[in-house]
Amino acid sequence: MTLQTSGAISLDDIHVEVGGTTGTTVSINDTDVRNLISSTPGTAVSFDDYYGATSSIWSVQVLTATSTYRGIINTNGPSSLPITYQLSGTITDDTFDPVAGQGIASTSSLSTPAAIRDFFSQPTGSSTFLSIWSVTSLSNAGFTSLTSKGTGGDTHSETINRTDASFAYVTSFGGNYSRWSWNTTNTFFPALATTYDITTQ
């Protein structure tokens, strides 16, 4: 997720942050460890340099709807969908910016470069969707995976890869948007009225 901003940081902590397994072999000069703070090989670094470092390029918290949609449908953007709060859920930040220059939102009232239109698993659990309002099609690039983790007593954790998704640019049905869709028997958001931490690698 994100390394602490004070106190002791171990090399093992850093290794886990970059996706390594705790207790396994790692070096401060490993490429993934160096890349976490954009350090070049041979440059002197301190463990303090890793304060607040994260391997995630985007993170939000999603509170799923109380009925129907396990996830969120944005009610504040250029959409003609008759969605109510009960069906829509909420998200801490609807801005989606995994890579600079991904495109711009459909109206100037929305955050740029893009804003989330919807991010949910179907009630049947058969598919997961991530849609981004955009004037032109976004690049099918920039992130490699999305991870959903339950909060509190919810131990749910699931990762889906971008390359496993179907990608399309839709020019109808509530405004133009780019959509990634995953056909999966697992449910990225398995429960209603539940909070999930979402991170992008």
Tokens of 120: 């949910």
Residue 144 token pair:
């490699």
By three-state DSSP, how is residue 15 classified? helix
167: confidence class by pLDDT, cuts 50, 70, 90: very high
Q: Mind listing the pLDDT tens digit for each residue in 95-123?
A: 775 543 454 555 544 445 567 889 999 88
Instruction: Please give the pLDDT value at position 85.
Output: 73
Q: Which of 181, 95, 178 is nearest to 137 (CA)?
A: 178
H helix or E strand, kind and range, residue 85: helix 85-88
Q: What are the pLDDT digits (tens) for 21-67?
A: 888 999 888 877 887 777 777 788 888 888 877 766 677 899 999 98
CA separation for the pair 83, 170 (Å, rounded): 19
Residue listed under structure tokens 């948007």: 177
The better pLDDT of the pair 113, 181 is held by: 181
Q: What is the pLDDT of residue 63?
A: 94
40 token code pair:
């070049």
Neighbours of 82 (CB within 10 A): 7
Banded pLDDT at 143 (limits 50, 70, 90)? confident
Please provide the average confidence, as pLDDT, over all residues in the chain. 80
